[in-house]
Amino acid sequence: MTGIPDTSTAIRWQDVAALTDLPALGGRLVVVPGGEIALLRNERDEIFAIDNRCPHKGGPLAEGAVSGHSVYCPLHNWRIDLTCGQACAPDVGQVRTWPVRVTDGRILIGLPL
Ligand code: FES
C-alpha cells in the first residue's frame, strides 16, 4: 500500500479535535474504532493523520518530533514522511495515512464507513 488511502471510496468525516488543541509542532493521540491515529501539526500549520504505530517497533508517533513533512519516532528516531507514511531511507516500512480537513476550527479525519 502506498500513499493516502483511496478517498474515492465512501468515507465519513469524524470530528476529532479543535485546531487550538493541536499546537504547532505538536502531536495528539486520537482513538478511533479500529485503532489509534497520531494527529500531527507542522510549523506551517499543515495537519497530518497517520497510524500511531511506528513501522520499526511500534513507537508512539503522536509523541514524535514534527519537522516539515516528517515526524521522528520518539523511540529510535526513524523519520516517517507524513505525506505518504513511508519510512525514509535507509529505513523501510510504512504507516497508513488518513485524509484530514479543517472546518470551522475543527479537525476532521476521513475514516471508512
Ligand atoms: S519504534 Fe520507531 S524508530 Fe524504533
What is the band of 23 on the pLDDT scale with cuts at 50, 70, 90? confident
In our burial notation (b when 16+ CB lie closer than 10 A, e otherwise), range 55-82 reads bbeebbbbebebeeebbbbbeeebbbbb
Which 3 state secondary structure label does DSSP give 17? strand
Check if 38 has its Cβ closer than 6 Å to any atom of ligand 1. Answer: no
Domain boundaries, given as residue ranges, for the chain: 19-101
Mean pLDDT of 13-30: 94
* More confidently predicted of 73 and 6: 73
* pTM confidence score: 0.89
Check if 72 has its Cβ closer than 6 Å to any atom of ligand 1. Answer: no
Report the CATH superfamily, name and number, of domain 19-101.
Answer: Rieske [2Fe-2S] iron-sulphur domain (2.102.10.10)
What is the band of 1 on the pLDDT scale with cuts at 50, 70, 90? very low
Nearest CA to ligand 1 atom 4: 76
User: What is the CA(61)–ligand 1 centre distance, in A?
Assistant: 9
Nearest CA to ligand 1 atom 3: 76
Q: Examine the pLDDT at 39 and tell me if it is beyond 70.
A: yes
